[in-house]
């Protein structure tokens, strides 16, 4: 009996328990260090980004390549029948204020350049370019394509910007000529018959809801701009919006909040909401925020990476990613958190509703860094110049 | 009896205790071992030893990577030669704007030669450059590269409907710039060699043969979202062509290579839908090519007499030109 007590005292901790304890401790330390490293790397990336954006800005030529050349072309030729040329354009030969006002407000109507008339839509760059950017861009474009070298100041842009917020896009060349420079010559008149009327039923659905669930605007904002993981809707194709709402109901696209909302909507409501948002012009409130590599993002969006079987974004979503109705949504000025989350959702299968399942394969070929790069670059682009007027748009 | 009972019970307990201990120990070892394995696996997972989250498996296009690689766009030299390369590239991707006098439809060089003429199995320019001059049965003579490009304008870009009414005249700057661009793309490529990835792949005939009616179903499911149910392509909000027209008045004419079913089938199999190359079966590629190439398009500029005569002279092999589908004579051209 006396030997019993010492036996109890000397009973060792079982070896497996020790192993578990040591392994758990190792895991804990490793996880702590790893998280710490990730946070440090993330911060470093973020600060590099900010430094890049604020201290080491793009010069005029670089701004031109990344903001203008996708439409107006690197050589300023424009696109036959669609995009006015810049080379020798009277709008550039005029005072620098004309180019500045066009950049700030965009154009939404017919314009005559040389001996051709263009019925197009140019975005407003007010929400994505700083005063200094606009000065550099105007100086570069006028110097290169019109051999004009008189200067604009940042003060001029700041003043014009105050007024720019109060008016929408220029209603074609005629308004620009009348308001800014009569020497631009005769310009085609705006056709008022095509003005899209606001649908009161859709407006009520968007701003007040249908009495059963939230109003669209309670999350997506009164101007359809969205924020962070809530997408921008302004300017997306009507049929695309209606299709997404339908897909929330069927579960092809999964999101609990949107499923609750969509289930209360009739198909004709979905269509009305789509129509309502599709003609909405709203400034961008998106900012690159994921620490993505903007240069890599620009390459992927404009050229793709064919070595990995990746076509460019613009080959389907259209030049400048303004979308191609009805199937391909605009991507520009979308919030990077949302874009990156969707690219992940195509891979994880929570979203499986793209045309021909094209996005599944594309998203799978993008790694995490590429997703952030693409999402951040798209956030720097100007918002889609939604046709507030219905011209000869295709696919409607 | 009592003591015997007790002894038995005590004895039983003594025997039971080590048994129980062994059971507990086994359980601890099992659970502990399992936990340790889990922890080790987790550590390995965190360290990225296993691939996950799409970080590693990016499926590089191995077939493409093994082909000839043209120089990067950033390496275009400065100076007059580099300027010509850039002009050539601009013509190549945006033909209607930079060689607009000679383009009569909504097709650009880059519509069929993907990735600005770089993509292997999409008739890349680096392979074409080193293959010319060569004899072509299409016109039964030696063709220089300029002759070949002239053919592209004449047929694929339907030059007779352009402002000038025909392809660029001999020696035109459009040829010089395009040839300079191609020459630069072929930097380091062996002259006269048969390069892997040249042209479009040749697709073996299937036992079923090809048929437009079957192809229509493929077209609706796989192609119509981009090229439109009517094959007319699609424009963006500014009226700019994003998806090229496949038939109708704004498409390539009856003399184009792409109007032959076998050529179209090879291109489609390797490259369409964009980003999903080789996803269609050979049968689907043949059928959808047959559907597209049985639709009406601008008339063949080589036709001087009747369609039947021109069919005999220029349209052997896999072409619907001059044939009848449901009583309709194919090849009459679009208005």
What would the DSSP string read from start to end of B54-97?
TSS-----HHHHTS--PPPGGGPPSSHHHHHHHHHHHHHHSHHH
Name the residue in chain A with its Cα closest to that of B65. Answer: A307
At B261, the pLDDT band (50, 70, 90 cuts) reads very high
Rounded CA separation B224/B248 (Å): 14
In 3-state terms, what secondary structure has residue B141? strand
Minimum Cα–Cα distance from B111: chain A residue: A315
Q: Which of B60, B243, B276 sits opposite A308 (nearest CB)?
A: B60
Burial A254-288 (b: 16+ CB within 10 A, else e): bbeebbebbeebeeebbbbbbbbbbbbbbbbbbeb
Nearest by CB: A23 against B28, B39, B97: B39
SS3 content of chain B, % helix, strand, coil (to 5): 50, 5, 45
Q: Which residue is it, tokens 């500014």?
A: B238
Distance between CA atoms of residues B88 and B177, nearest Å: 4
**Structural domains of chain A ordered from first start:** 60-190 (1.10.760.10), 191-396 (1.10.760.10)
pLDDT in tens, B240-253: 899 999 999 999 99
Residue B187: per-residue pLDDT: 96
- Asked if B275's CB is within 8 angstroms of A311's CB, the reply is yes
Q: Count of alpha carbons within 13 Å of B177, Cβ hemisphere only?
A: 18
The predicted structure's pLDDT at residue B98: 92
- pLDDT at residue B111 is higher than 80: yes
Residue partners of A112: CB distance under 8 A and separation at least 6: A118, A173, A185, A186, A187, A188
pLDDT of res. B316: 85
* Cβ-based contacts of B42 with chain A (< 8 Å): 27
pLDDT of B7 strictly over 70: no
B54 contacts in A (CB within 8 Å)? Answer: 347, 364, 366-368
Instruction: For residues B55 and A365, give the distance between their C-alpha atoms in angstroms, rounded to a whole number.
Output: 9
pTM beyond cutoff 0.90: no
* A236/A322 Cα distance (integer angstroms): 9
* Assigned token pair, B263: 């050529």
Ordered by where they begin, the domains of chain B are 76-185 (1.10.760.10), 212-329 (1.10.760.10)
Predicted pLDDT at A390:
47
- Does the pLDDT value for residue B56 go beyond 50? no
The predicted pLDDT at position A48 comes to 57
Residue among B182, B171, B183, B181 nearest B84 (CA)? B181
Q: Is the dihedral of CA B157, B160, B162, B165 positive or negative?
A: positive
Residues of B in contact with A367 (CB under 8 A): 54-55, 58
The residue count for chain A: 396
What is the greatest pairwise CA distance in chain A?
A: 117
Taking the C-alpha atoms of residue A303 and residue B74, their distance in angstroms, rounded to an integer, is 13
Q: Which regions in chain A score pLDDT beneath 50?
A: 47, 51, 54-55, 193, 390-396
Which residues lie closer than 8 Å to B262 by C-beta, 6 or more apart?
A: B202, B203, B289, B317, B318
Lowest-confidence segment of A27-41, A146-160, B38-52, B258-272 by average pLDDT: B38-52
Least CB–CB distance from A394: residue in B28, B226, B234:
B234
Distance from CA of B39 to the nearest CA of A (A): 7
Q: Looking at chain B, which residue has its C-alpha nearest residue A110?
A: B238
Task: Determine which of A45-49, B6-10, B153-157 has the lowest per-residue pLDDT on average.
Answer: B6-10
Q: What is the pLDDT of residue A394?
A: 34
Query: Taking a C-beta distance cutoff of 8 angstroms, is the pair A68, A122 a contact?
Result: no
CB B270 within 8 A of CB B121: yes
Q: Do B61 and A394 touch (CB under 8 A)?
A: no
Residue B275 to residue A74, Cβ atoms within 8 A = no
Mean pLDDT, rounded, of chain B: 88
User: Between B289 and A12, whose confidence is greater?
Assistant: B289
By the 8 A CB rule, do A104 and A160 touch?
yes
Pairing of strands B324-325, B134-136: unpaired
Check B33 against A393: CB less than 8 A apart: no
């Amino acid at each position: 009996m006396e030997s019993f007590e010492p036996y109890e005292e000397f009973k060792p901790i079982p070896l497996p328990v020790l192993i578990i304890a040591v392994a758990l401790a190792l895991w804990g330390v490793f996880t702590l260090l790893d998280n710490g490293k990730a946070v440090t790397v993330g911060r470093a990336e973020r600060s590099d980004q900010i430094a890049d954006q604020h201290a080491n800005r793009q010069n005029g030529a670089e701004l031109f390549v990344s903001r203008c050349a996708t439409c107006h072309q690197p050589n300023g030729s424009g696109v036959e029948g669609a995009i006015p040329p810049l080379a020798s354009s009277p709008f550039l030969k005029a005072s620098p204020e004309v180019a500045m006002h066009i950049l700030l407000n965009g154009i939404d109507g017919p314009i005559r350049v040389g001996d051709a008339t263009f019925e197009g839509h140019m975005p407003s760059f007010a929400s994505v370019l700083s005063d200094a950017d606009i000065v550099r861009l105007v100086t570069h474009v006028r110097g290169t394509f019109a051999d004009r070298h008189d200067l604009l100041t940042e003060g001029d842009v700041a003043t014009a910007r105050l007024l720019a917020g109060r008016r929408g896009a220029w209603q074609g060349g005629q308004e620009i000529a009348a308001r800014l420079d009569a020497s631009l010559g005769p310009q085609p008149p705006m056709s008022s018959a095509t003005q899209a009327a606001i649908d009161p039923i859709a407006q009520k659905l968007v701003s007040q809801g249908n009495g059963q669930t939230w109003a669209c605007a309670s999350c997506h904002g009164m101007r359809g701009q969205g924020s962070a993981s809530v997408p921008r809707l302004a300017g997306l194709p009507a049929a695309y919006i209606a299709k997404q709402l339908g897909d929330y109901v069927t579960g092809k696209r999964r999101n609990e909040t949107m499923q609750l909302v969509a289930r209360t909507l009739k198909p004709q409501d979905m269509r009305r909401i789509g129509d309502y948002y599709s003609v909405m012009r709203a400034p961008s409130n998106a900012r690159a925020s994921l620490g993505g590599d903007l240069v890599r993002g620009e390459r992927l969006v404009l050229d793709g990476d064919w070595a990995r079987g990746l076509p460019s974004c613009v080959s389907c979503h259209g030049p400048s990613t303004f979308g191609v109705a009805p199937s391909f949504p605009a991507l520009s000025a979308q919030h990077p958190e949302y874009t990156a989350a969707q690219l992940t959702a195509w891979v994880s299968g929570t979203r499986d509703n793209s045309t021909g399942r094209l996005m599944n394969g594309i998203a799978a070929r993008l790694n995490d860094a590429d997703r952030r790069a693409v999402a951040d670059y798209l956030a720097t682009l100007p918002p889609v110049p939604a046709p507030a007027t219905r011209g000869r748009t295709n696919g409607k | 009896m009592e003591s015997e009972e007790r002894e038995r019970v005590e004895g039983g307990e003594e025997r039971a205790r080590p048994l129980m201990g062994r059971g507990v120990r086994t359980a601890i070892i099992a659970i502990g071992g399992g936990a340790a394995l889990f922890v080790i696996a987790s550590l390995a997972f965190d360290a990225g030893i296993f691939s996950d989250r799409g970080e590693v498996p990016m499926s590089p296009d191995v077939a493409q990577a093994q082909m000839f690689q043209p120089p990067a766009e950033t390496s275009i030299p400065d100076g007059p030669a580099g300027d010509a390369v850039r002009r050539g590239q601009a013509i190549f991707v945006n033909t209607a704007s930079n060689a607009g006098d000679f383009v009569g439809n909504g097709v650009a060089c880059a519509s069929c030669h993907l990735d600005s003429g770089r993509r292997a199995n999409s008739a890349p320019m680096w392979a074409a450059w080193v293959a010319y001059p060569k004899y072509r049965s299409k016109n039964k003579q030696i063709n220089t590269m300029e002759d070949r490009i002239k053919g592209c304008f004449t047929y694929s870009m339907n030059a007779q409907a352009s402002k000038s009414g025909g392809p660029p005249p001999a020696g035109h700057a459009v040829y010089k710039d395009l040839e300079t661009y191609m020459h630069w793309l072929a930097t380091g490529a062996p002259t006269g060699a048969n390069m892997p990835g040249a042209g479009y792949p040749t697709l073996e005939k299937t036992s079923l043969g090809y048929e437009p009616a079957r192809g229509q179903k493929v077209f609706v499911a796989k192609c119509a979202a981009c090229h439109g149910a009517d094959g007319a392509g699609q424009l963006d909000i500014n009226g700019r062509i994003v998806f090229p027209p496949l038939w109708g008045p704004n498409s390539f004419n009856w003399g184009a290579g792409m109007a032959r079913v076998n050529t179209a089938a090879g291109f489609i199999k390797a490259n369409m839908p964009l980003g999903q190359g080789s996803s269609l079966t050979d049968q689907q590629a043949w059928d959808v090519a047959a559907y597209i190439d049985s639709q009406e398009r601008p008339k063949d500029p080589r036709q001087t007499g009747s369609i039947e005569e021109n069919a005999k002279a220029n349209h052997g092999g896999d072409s619907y030109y001059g044939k009848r589908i449901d009583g309709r004579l194919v090849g009459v051209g679009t208005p």
